[in-house]
Amino acid sequence: MTEPDRRRDSADDLRWAELADLVLIIAREIQFRGYADERAVPLSQSEGMVMRYLLGVPAAPPSRIAAATGLQRTNLSAVLRTLEGKGLIERQADPDDGRGVTVRATQHGKTNYALVRHEWATILSAAAGGDSADLDAALGFLRAVEAALVSARPQSSGP
């Protein structure tokens, strides 16, 4: 590799690191603000990942939720208990196998997620001064990065 190539790679590395920092900072700033609407039920990052997944499927067994979210089964069990306690999910016997359990979002869980997404949209739009000119490009780019990261996720060796 030539010296200009090394400098370019180093500059790109710095820009990728800056992107990672910005994504983490933005996520933290959104979470830090909380919610203006008192009906909103705050969620931890893990709880949010589980709810996001469950809103895309009618119901799922815990093993599928763990695989989809990248959570260890033991951590997922604690998250499910907390979400159930908040009334955002419910567990029921698997209709195909009475020994198993499926989990689904409750109506309260669906309503809560729509509410917090609206608040996130309001916060980000205000922070950007309402300028959505580059929003579609940013969304496309971030979706592609997310998909690549999820597909390259190491398989869990836990229980």
Q: How many angstroms separate the CA atoms of 56 and 53, rounded?
A: 5
b/e code 136-147 from CB counts within 10 Å (16+ = b) = eeeeeeeeeeee
Domain edges within the chain:
1-33, 39-151
Task: Please write the tens of the pLDDT for every residue from 136-157.
Answer: 999 999 999 999 998 998 875 4
Read off the pTM. 0.81
- Chunked in runs of 10, what are the mean pLDDT values of the chain (159 residues)? 68 94 94 90 93 95 94 94 97 81 96 94 95 97 95 68
Q: Which two tokens stand for residue 81?
A: 């208990």
Q: CA 85: distance to chain centroid?
A: 20
Q: How many angstroms separate the CA atoms of 48 and 43, rounded?
A: 6
Closest C-alpha among 76, 77, 88, 78 to residue 40: 88
Q: Which two tokens stand for residue 127?
A: 């922070």
Architecture per CATH, 39-151 = Orthogonal Bundle (1.10)
